[in-house]
Amino acid sequence: MHQRKGSAGGGAPARVNNVIRAVFLDRDGVLNPGVTRDGKPWAPVKLAELEILPGVPEALASLRAAGFQLIVVTNQPDVVRGHATRAGVESICEYMRQHLPIDDVRICFHDDGDRCACRKPKPGMIYAAAVEREIVLEHSFMIGDRWRDIGAGKAAGCRTILVNAMIEPTRIEPDVELADLPAAAAWILGREKD
């Protein structure tokens, strides 16, 4: 079962034309870089390893100003694999929630063998947030750096943006591929003017 980490900002959600919209964000590779261990990229496992990517706070602020809810949906299987602690992962997510304009953080601690409904590419975390917050998914976006993020976004009916793309087989094509979160935010906001 996924864990939800509270809501920042409080108050009623912003509505545009009476529609609540969101940008769902993967964490590692979108908001923060990975950590290199033994030549391989890993998710940071403690707060001391966390670094926010350049332009992320400003990009999030621009999306929030346009009325989007900002919800992090992150797979964190390193906990059950024994490479990270739940407390370490939660401290990173809580820091982000406190220091970035994020409305909600949802964490899946499962691995593929658990066959849960929340581990991306399944859309469970997105659906749960949408139900709780009355988000209209067809007016929302999913931004991620892996095919699992794109798969979850597409399964939920969101438009999908691949950023900082991981070098891995492309199993599911995104709606658009861009350099990073600031470029994705600019693309989303540019569509507002169409």
The two beta strands, 3-5 and 104-108, are antiparallel
Could you count the other beta carbons within 10 Å of the beta carbon of residue 169?
6
Write phi, then psi, for 73 (nearest 5 degrees): -125, 110
Q: Is 72 left (phi over 0), alpha (psi -120 to 50) or beta?
A: beta
Contact yes or no for 178/160 (Cβ under 8 A): no
Check if 26 is active-site: yes
DSSP class of residue 48 equals G
The CA distance from 194 to 192, in Å, is: 6
Sign of the Cα pseudo-torsion (168, 174, 179, 184, in order): negative
Three-state DSSP string of 114-150: HCCCCCCCCCHHHHHHHHHHCECHHHCEEEECCHHHH
Q: Which of 26, 103, 149, 180 is catalytic?
A: 26
Residue positions annotated with a catalytic role: 26, 28
